[in-house]
């Protein structure tokens, strides 16, 4: 019974969090999309971007909408591997150009030392992902704030089938 109560409370908190995410205005969304398209090599109309929170950070996916669009898949993979490398070096300049210096979580992420946060790139058959993780609570919070801002401004939602395997501390 205790497990069911805890599970129910966790689902309720997660649901409230998702509902509490403030969506960007249509104008802000369009501006972010335009800046993003200028700074990434892949076509936003031919890809889908999701940000899924996890206990220790989260996972960003960028996938081609068409699994046989090899050009977009290769562009996504090149872009995300560069992003992961830049983030490891503390370089968030592209994110800052897209979302602004006041983006939630960004200032804290920029303070992290090289090994405080892991940015693990993985190529996928239809795109790529970056798994962000840390054991430091201040950086977990910063990643969650950063993910929330990403979801708000890019209009992406949590990938429902993906989040299931990121809900345990073992992640």
Task: Please write the tens of the pLDDT for every residue from 118-168.
Answer: 999 999 999 999 999 999 999 999 999 999 988 876 665 444 334 444 444
Whether 157 maps to a domain, the answer reads yes
- Mean confidence (pLDDT) of the chain: 79
Average pLDDT over residues 89-93: 94
Is residue 121 one of the residues assigned to a domain?
Answer: yes
Evaluate whether residue 18 is within a structural domain: no
**Does any domain span residue 104?**
yes
The verdict on residue 1 lying in a domain is no
How many independent structural domains does the chain possess?
1
Identify the residue with better confidence: 161 or 63.
63
pLDDT at residue number 156: 57
The CA distance from 98 to 79, in Å, is 15
Those residues with Cβ within 8 angstroms of residue 69's Cβ, 6 or more apart along the chain or in another chain = 46
Asked whether residue 158 is domain-assigned, the answer is yes
Residue 24 is classified by DSSP as P
**Alpha-carbon distance 14 to 8, whole Å?**
10
Q: Is residue 8 part of a domain?
A: no
Q: What's the confidence (pLDDT) of residue 30?
A: 62
Phi, psi of 169 (to 5 degrees): -60, -30
Domain that holds residue 153: 23-166
- Give the percent of the chain with pLDDT over 90: 54
Q: Report yes or no on 5 lying in a domain.
A: no
Angle at 25 between CA 24 and CA 28, to 5 degrees: 80
Residue 100, Ramachandran bin (φ over 0: left; ψ between -120 and 50: alpha; else beta) = left
């Amino acid at each position: 019974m205790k497990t069911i109560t805890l599970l129910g409370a966790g689902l309720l908190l997660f649901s409230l969090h998702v509902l509490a995410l403030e969506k960007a205005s249509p104008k802000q969304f369009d501006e972010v999309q335009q800046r993003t398209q200028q700074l990434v090599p892949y076509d936003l109309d031919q890809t889908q971007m999701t940000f899924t929170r996890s206990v220790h950070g989260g996972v960003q996916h960028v996938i081609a909408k068409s699994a046989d669009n090899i050009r977009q898949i290769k562009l996504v993979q090149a872009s995300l591997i560069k992003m992961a490398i830049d983030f490891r070096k503390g370089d968030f300049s592209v994110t800052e150009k897209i979302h602004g210096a006041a983006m939630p979580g960004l200032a804290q992420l920029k303070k992290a030392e090289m090994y405080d946060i892991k940015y693990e790139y993985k190529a996928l058959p239809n795109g790529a992902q970056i798994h962000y993780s840390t054991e430091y609570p201040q950086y977990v919070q910063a990643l969650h704030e950063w993910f929330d801002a990403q979801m708000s401004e890019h209009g992406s939602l949590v990938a429902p089938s993906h989040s299931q395997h990121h809900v345990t501390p073992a992640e």
